[in-house]
A and B are shown apart, each in its own frame.
Chain A
Amino acid sequence: MANFYLDNPSMKHHLHHPLMKRIVELKERDFADKDKYDYAPQDFEDAMDSYEKVLEIVGEICGEIIAPNAEDVDHEGPSVANGRVTYAKGTQENLDAVRKAGLMGIAMPRRYNGLNFPIVPYIMAADLVSRADAGFENLWGLQDCAETLYEFGNDDQRERYIPRVCNGETMSMDLTEPDAGSDLQSVMLKATYSEKDNCWYLNGVKRFITNGDADIHLVLARSEEGTKDGRGLSMFIYDKRNGGVNVRRIENKMGIKGSPTCELVFKNAKAELCGDRKLGLIKYVMALMNGARLGIMAQAVGLSEAAYREGYAYATERKQFGKAIIEFPAIYEMVSLMRAKADASRSMLYETARFVDVYKALDDISKERKLTPEERTEMKKYSKLADAFTPMGKGMTTEYANQNAYDAIQIHGGSGFMKDYACERLYRDARITNIYEGTTQLQVVAAIRHVTTGTYLNQIREYEAIEYKPELAGLQNKLKAMTDKYEKLVAMVTETKDNEYIDFQARRMVEAAAHCVLGYLLLQDANKDDSFRRSAEVYVNYGQAEVEKISSFISNFNREDLTYYRQ
């Protein structure tokens, strides 16, 4: 029996982080549900045991159902007829399995029939699902939208919609349009209020909508006639039961082919306002995007893991010149770096997930009672860290997923170019991760202020202050030197006070910070568990050279040379 949770000990390692105690305590409100629901945990140990048991279910479904279906789903894909989408047969089986296993609405409160899990175990499930089939993760992972509904919907909306998601109905977030991609301020889908029917009607077109034929949609639409920017946009809930939205076509994509990407036509589609008018983009979509970005990070981590495993397996089996190719330095370097990037990405994912967990739980509690001053400080701290780590993590992990998928094919040689091996699917699936939910370039835009204001540096210095085992001193010294170099090059760039120049060097600075962060996270992993030592060593060697390269580029760069770049 293949089990993706049990066959990868690093999952358990990341689940059992010291901060989980605080997270569970907050999420469970000191175990207030323990006698109200027969499936609620009694105490911290009980909660952790439940997360593990549920992740074992996820791991088994991934290993036994979703992964074996992935190839057929990739070939068959979904289809559209009469405005409705039909999933590939394998996708239907996958959905049936996750529904019967009760894996929808994992993070939702029990009163709405959810499991009330923190983000960490939820995102771990996403990591597992993505390793099995990244395209399916999109459909399953859209339960994220319930989180937005929970955060911004009113009580009545929560009660009507969230239990439906927990019972297995799917969701979509309808944001982009033909002329509004990265620039969501240009959304034109029109929302008009009818006094007579006491409801809103939506008219227009949405494009590139993942799972666009979902049961429940969150829709960004222009409610304020005559406006042109983000302040005229509101968020709406569209219920498929009411009708009015048809799927005009589904895109023929390069990868994640099992996940239908739809063009939607809204024709007097009845909808209800979610939250306040005019806050659609500036508040709700921003919140939704941060959650979605964490989901894409999980998708990237699952893909990195899958690519590493495919590459490693082939390198071990394939014999050339009388030995397995993994014995050649050129190949084993590639394999070990893939492992290191997958491990570093995973550490980043769970570090970010923990930050999100603490601040979201406190935010949720703040709706029930006034937070103490200590709690407010705690929430602020973690909210800021989540805000800084999400774009950095999304940027790095998705680029690494692509690099790992690329290397997996390289290890396979000519065979990897054929459709016979999974690595070519992983390569195609990975390609979207550094594009959607904000391209890497846009992640840099979000991350750069944490370079200039020092959020990253402060956090790195905190990692530096942790006590490490003596045998890790060599690594620690390298990381310290990397950090010093990072600090210097940031000063070098920012003291110019030239915004265009800062933007030009932004990605390099964010990456330099990321190499320090990822290196320190792996160092902490190795500090607790020796099996991470290898990845820590390999990654720091790699990161050190990358920081060196960045530093060299920036130190030698003449600002006037920008003219050669401007188009």
Chain B
Amino acid sequence: MSLKIIVLAKQVPDTRNVGKDAMKEDGTINRAALPAIFNPEDLNALEQALRLKDAYPGTTVTLLTMGPGRAAEIIREGLYRGADGGYLLTDRAFAGADTLATSYALATAIKKIKDYDIIIGGRQAIDGDTAQVGPQVAEKLGLTQITYAEEILNVDEKTRRITVKRHIDGGVETVEGPLPIVITVNGSAAPCRPRNAKLVQKYKRALGAQEKAALGDALTHTEMYESRPYLNITEWSVADVNGDTAQCGLSGSPTKVKTIQNIVFQAKESKTLTSSDKDIEDMIVELLANHTIG
């Protein structure tokens, strides 16, 4: 059995190690100070998709991302790890989207792709932490959704049902759902595999149209883009996916930012420990490891 998988992925500013210059005076993100990275939980999702590809030969993994021209990097990162292709939704009209407008744009693109069994993405992006886009996409497409997934156990060919282990408060539960389905993956799932040496060499020149234009004369080996079509990353505009501009980007976003406050985190991460030997031992190991004691 082969599956058609779409991985939803987002390029985000790396908010994990923010410094003082992370925000601008006006309260917006200072993107220049934060490197753009593959949203971490989307990498967990990509790994689940690639594992299905390993388990079910013939399966294809296609990335779908929305962003500026340079977000084609996300597609390349996917190709380097074993994805088969990708689409970059890019258009000024998509800019400034909240979760509603984002899920609208993604859903229209998925309808255009048409043929799919599994749509999988990270639980949430580290720049917004909303965890809304995945579920909204499922709603818009009228599909079943499984959130907080930790591991896809198997796909039954006959019944076309998928079994997934998902994270719940204090444990895990195993659930089953019908294909096609939307799955969002938790950060506690298996980390994504590294980039592959051969695939990096194969796809390192893959570029979107905007990236090619930006390079201008600096673009080398131009003939290869004709002889090797996989080096051209597909870009889709609002029109390409038959989208309604009014529902896209800022105009399609009912979310309004009222105020922005600067908050200095005071409390450090808290932890509850019991008096069990195991908890005490874990604590000692941790304190030794960070040289608080010893």
Contact = CB atoms under 8 A, between A and B. Distances in A.
B194 A61 contact: yes
B198 interface: yes
A279 B150 CA distance: 55
Interface in A470-523: none
B204 interface: yes
Contact of B201 (A50, A61, A97, A101): A50
B221 interface: yes
A54 interface: yes
Interface in B271-294: 288, 291, 294
A57 B288 contact: no
A368 interface: no
Interface in B194-214: 194-202, 204
Contact of A53 (B193, B204, B291): B204
A273 B294 CA distance: 56
A57 B197 contact: yes
Given A38-B228, A420-B288, A420-B294, A101 B202 contact: no
B169 to A, nearest CB: 28
A418 B196 CA distance: 39
Given A38-B202, A38-B228, A49-B204, A102 B197 contact: yes
Given A420-B291, A420-B294, A39 B201 contact: yes
A102 B196 contact: yes
A76 to B, nearest CB: 14
Nearest to A45: B220
A101 B197 contact: yes
Nearest to B293: A420
A452 interface: no
Contacts of A41: 201
A41 B197 CA distance: 13
A103 B193 contact: no
A54 B200 contact: yes
A60 interface: yes
Interface in A374-391: none
A369 interface: no
Contacts of A196: none
Interface in A46-73: 46, 49-50, 53-54, 57, 60-61, 65
B198 A115 contact: yes
A334 to B, nearest CB: 22
B291 A57 contact: no
Contact of A101 (B196, B204, B221, B228): B196
A41 B221 CA distance: 11
Q: What's the interface size class on A, roughly?
A: 20 to 34
A37 B202 CA distance: 9
A428 B288 CA distance: 21
A102 B221 contact: no
A544 B224 CA distance: 55
B79 to A, nearest CB: 12
Contacts of A148: none
B288 A102 contact: no
Contacts of B202: 38-39
Contacts of B224: 42
Contact of A42 (B196, B198, B221, B294): B221
A100 interface: yes
B102 to A, nearest CB: 26
A100 B198 CA distance: 10
Contact of A103 (B197, B201, B221, B228): B197
Contact of B194 (A40, A49, A100, A115): A100
B151 to A, nearest CB: 16
Contacts of A420: 288, 291, 294
Given A38-B228, A420-B288, A54 B194 contact: no
Contacts of B228: 38
Contacts of B193: 97, 100-101
A4 to B, nearest CB: 13
Interface in B164-204: 193-202, 204
Nearest to A93: B191
A65 B197 CA distance: 17
Contact of A54 (B197, B221, B288): B197
22 contacts: A38-B202, A42-B221, A50-B201, A50-B204, A53-B204, A54-B200, A54-B201, A57-B194, A57-B196, A57-B197, A57-B200, A60-B194, A65-B194, A100-B193, A100-B194, A101-B193, A101-B194, A102-B196, A102-B198, A106-B197, A115-B197, A420-B291
Closest 4 CB pairs of A and B: A39-B201, A102-B197, A101-B194, A100-B193
Interface of A: 38-42, 46, 49-50, 53-54, 57, 60-61, 65, 97, 100-103, 106, 115, 418, 420
Given A42-B224, A54-B197, 7 more contacts: A38-B202, A42-B221, A49-B204, A57-B195, A65-B194, A102-B196, A420-B291
